[in-house]
Structure 1
């Protein structure tokens, strides 16, 4: 099972690696999903978030409360 970003829902992409002779072979591009733990004052505990690297910056900027609300709106639990 591949990783998915809990904030954006970004998953793996597919495409072709093209060699010098222009032979295309299938490839799979995995997103760079990192798991981070954040302290959530509203819940009184820590919460783990699996997010892509650009989304980690978004969590730091907007706060874990807003990110948690967005994750819960998608039907996932944090």
Structure 2
């Protein structure tokens, strides 16, 4: 599973891990990606999305129909 959220497009952040001696090595901060199934009443079907934990809260706040409408307006295929 790729570390990309379907709702907001959240992707990993890149940077350096800095040790006590100040040596730098590359690292990445992955978003907390989950697979979650939602029932979309307007379409009468279940939809499985790859979303970050923060965007699960966004879907709970705005509603799955509004989020799906935004994704379709962006041109994402569901």
Q: TM-score, normalised by structure 1?
A: 0.90
Structure 2: gaps spanning 5 or more residues: none
Q: Does the alignment pair 1:53 with 2:47?
A: no
CA drift at 1:25: 0.2
Count, aligned residues: 78
Structure 1: gaps spanning 5 or more residues: none
* Residue of structure 1 in register with 2:29 after alignment: 29
Q: Does the alignment pair 1:43 with 2:26?
A: no
CA drift at 1:20: 0.6
CA drift at 1:72: 1.2
Contact 1:2 1:30 in 2 (8 A): no
Q: TM-score, normalised by structure 2?
A: 0.90
